Chain A
Amino acid sequence: MTISHFSAVILFSLFTSIVFGITQRAEPKMMVKFGAFCFVLFVGATIAASWAMYFIKH
């Protein structure tokens, strides 16, 4: 099996955010909010780091 780097980021962020949401908050509504926050942060930070590396190289 091969997946693209972006697919790997999405899958990693999705699964990790689900567990973080469930374990780090007590109320279901807050779990969803925190999970979504973690997902956006994971993906956003990866994209930002990718662009940073691009500009460092070029």
Chain B
Amino acid sequence: MKENYPLTVGDKGLTEVSATGTSPTLALLAGWLIPGAGHLLLGKWIRGLLIAVSVLGMFAIGIALQGKVYLPNTGEPLDMLGFAGDLGSGLLYGLARLLGWGQAPVLTAIADYGGKFIVVAGLLNVVAAVDAHSLASGRKRS
């Protein structure tokens, strides 16, 4: 709701800020790029750490199980959905691509589980980032 977004005049004009002084957009972006960072920015230390442990844990288990890290533009609709899920992990996905983590072909049932762990880690991270945005904007009470 717009009335929950106090506006301040800064160097760059009108800027959205929350009661905590953190921009909802910043909380959203930080939470997406680094799991739990959105809540940590808002001073929700326990929630931030729990989210970080959960998302990082799921992502690490997925990689350890040799799960598939999806690539963009393979032309397969399911691969594109998998990529969208993976992308939710923010910088973790970039790190995985950079360091060549994960396996492209799924060879075992456990590796398939690994791929799902990685996708769900990304989706949970998006949910957590949106929650941080709601907290910063005042849409969520506490």
Interface residues of A (CB under 8 A from B): 1-3, 5, 8, 11-12, 14-16, 18-20, 22-23, 26-27
Count of B interface residues, CB-CB < 8 Å: 27
- Chain A nearest CB, measured from B129 CB (Å): 10
Among B65, B110, B120, contact of A16 (Cβ-Cβ < 8 Å): B120
Binds A, one of B48-56, B77-85, B94-102: B48-56
- Interface status of B64 (Cβ within 8 A of chain A): yes
Flag if B124 contacts A16 (CB, 8 Å). yes
Docked Cα-Cα span, A2 to B65, in Å, equals: 6
In chain B between 32 and 79, which residues have their CB closer than 8 angstroms to a CB of chain A? 39, 47, 50-51, 53-55, 57-58, 61, 64-65
Among A8, A15, A16, A27, contact of B113 (Cβ-Cβ < 8 Å): A8
Interface of B is mostly: helix
Contacts of B117 in A (CB 8 A): 8, 11-12
Interface residues of B (CB under 8 A from A): 39, 47, 50-51, 53-55, 57-58, 61, 64-65, 109-110, 113, 116-117, 120-121, 124, 127-128, 130-131, 140-142
Contacts of B120 in A (CB 8 A): 12, 16
Contacts of B64 in A (CB 8 A): 1
Closest chain A residue to B60 by CB distance?
Answer: A1
Flag if B127 contacts A11 (CB, 8 Å). no
Docked Cα-Cα span, A11 to B120, in Å, equals: 12
- Chain A nearest CB, measured from B35 CB (Å): 10
Flag if B140 contacts A26 (CB, 8 Å). yes
Docked Cα-Cα span, A22 to B39, in Å, equals: 10
Docked Cα-Cα span, A16 to B128, in Å, equals: 11
Flag if B110 contacts A11 (CB, 8 Å). no
Closest chain B residue to A9 by CB distance?
Answer: B113
